[in-house]
Amino acid sequence: MSEPIIEAIGLQKVFRDFWRRPKVKAVNDVSFTVNRGEVFGLLGPNGSGKSTTLKMILGLLYPTSGQLRVLGRSPRDVKTKARIGYLPEESYSYPYLTSQETLSFYGMLFDLPAGERQQRTEQLLDMIGLRHARRRQVGEFSKGMARRIGLAQALINDPDLVILDEPTSGLDPIGCRQVKDLIKALAARGKTVLLSSHLLSDVEDVCDRVIILYNGKVQALGTINELLEQKTQYRLTMPEVSAEGLQRILAAVRAELGNEPAVDHPRRDLEQFFLEIVEKARQATTEASGVGPASGVARYLAGDEVLQQLLKTPESPAPAPLSAAQQQAADEKLRKLVEPPK
C-alpha cells in the first residue's frame, strides 16, 4: 500500500476583504492525495491558486473549509513542520549574512547540533555550486544564486516532504537541470516532493503526477502519460534507411492508411543541446564567475555511499568502480527503489 503524505479533500480558501466579505475564492473544492516518494506538480496560470494551496499545506494559511492532512497530522502541528522543507516563491534571506551563515542560521532554527550543521552547510554549498561564494553576502547574489541558497535552505533539515514554489524560476538551464536531478534523487530516496511551476517542460521532466488548476479549481489530474499520451495516434522511429527504402516503407503505409503519413526527423531537445555546448565551453576555460560546477547531491541527503553512487548525475565525475559486495548492495537498493511501494 502506498503511504499518503498529503491528503486534501474539498479544500477551499476564500480571501475576505476588510469587512469580511468574500473577495476571492482562491482555492475551490480541490481534492488530491500525494503518496510517499512521489513528485507531484501543481500547474496553472498566474493567480490560479497554486501558492495558496501550498501555503495551506504548510500551515501558513487556514483553509476556509475542507480537510487537509499532512504527514498524517494537521498541517499546523509543529511536529509536521519539522519534517517539511519549503522554498517560497520569493526567497527571503538576510542580505548581510554570507551564504554559509545563512544556511547555518536555518540549521540553528531546526536545532541541529553545531557539527551536523557545519557538515550539512558545506555539503549543500557544494551541491548548489556556491562553495566559492560561501563568504559572500547573500544580498549581493544574482537572482539564480539567491534561488540556489533558497533551495539549500529548504533541505537543511533533511525533510521528508519538500515543497517547492517555482523551484526553477530565475535559474539558468544548467541550474534547472541540477534542480530537476536533485528532485528525482530526493524522490528516489523516498522523499515526497510537491512543486508548483509555470515551466511545463520542467514539470513534464520530473513529476509523476500533476494537477492543473484554473481559477482555484482542478481542471485535470493524473500521471503525465495519462494526460499527454495521444492514444489514437502512433509514431514510428527507425534507424537511417536509403531513400528508396524509405519510399517503399511509405508506400506500404500509404496503401494501408489510404493517405500520406507525416514523416520528420526526431529532434534533440534544446536543453540537452545547450548543456552540451556550455559543458564544452566550461572545459575550455579555467575560471568562471557566478555559479561553479555543482557536485551531485549533498551526501547527507543521498544517504550512504552506495546510494550516492547510484544517484550520480551525468555531469558529475565518473564514480569509482564498486566492489563485488558493494555491487550486490547496490543491486539490492536499486531493486527496492524500482519495486512499487507496498
Ligand X SMILES: Nc1ncnc2c1ncn2[C@@H]1O[C@H](COP(=O)(O)OP(=O)(O)OP(=O)(O)O)[C@@H](O)[C@H]1O
Binding residues for ligand X (CB under 6 A): 15, 24, 26, 44, 46-52, 89
Q: What does 99 interact with, of Mg ion, ligand X, none (CB < 5 to 8 A by kind)?
A: none
Shortest CB 90 distance to ligand X, Å: 10
Choose between 123 and 197: whose C-beta lies nearer to Mg ion: 197
**Binding to Mg ion by residue 51, rule CB under 5 A?**
yes
Choose between 46 and 259: whose C-beta lies nearer to ligand X: 46
Shortest CB 45 distance to ligand X, Å: 7
Number of H helices, E strands in the chain: 13, 9
Distance from C-alpha of 12 to C-alpha of 179, rounded to nearest angstrom: 31
Choose between 80 and 169: whose C-beta lies nearer to Mg ion: 169
Shortest CB 51 distance to ligand X, Å: 3
Distance from C-alpha of 289 to C-alpha of 42, rounded to nearest angstrom: 34
- List of long-range contacts for 96-102, beta carbons under 8 Å, 24+ apart: 96/137, 96/139, 97/137, 97/138, 98/134, 98/135, 98/136, 98/137, 98/138, 99/125, 99/130, 99/133, 99/134, 99/135, 99/136, 99/138, 99/141, 99/149, 100/125, 100/134, 100/135, 102/138, 102/149, 102/153
Choose between 117 and 147: whose C-beta lies nearer to ligand X: 147
CB–CB of 12/29 below 8 Å?
yes
Number of residues that bind Mg ion (CB under 5 A): 3
Nearest to 55 by CA among 89, 23, 106: 89
Q: What does 63 interact with, of ligand X, Mg ion, none (CB < 5 to 8 A by kind)?
A: none
Shortest CB 8 distance to ligand X, Å: 14
> What residues contact residue 302 under an 8 Å CB cut-off, 6+ apart?
185, 189, 296, 308, 311
Q: What does 24 interact with, of ligand X, Mg ion, none (CB < 5 to 8 A by kind)?
A: ligand X
Taking CA atoms, 265 is separated from 68, 127, 179, 239, in Å, by 48, 37, 30, 10
Choose between 54 and 125: whose C-beta lies nearer to Mg ion: 54
Choose between 39 and 195: whose C-beta lies nearer to Mg ion: 195
**Binding to Mg ion by residue 153, rule CB under 5 A?**
no
Shortest CB 59 distance to Mg ion, Å: 17
Position of minimal CB gap to Mg ion = 51
Contacts of Mg ion in 77-116 (CB under 5 A):
89
Site residues (vs Mg ion, CB under 5 A): 50-51, 89
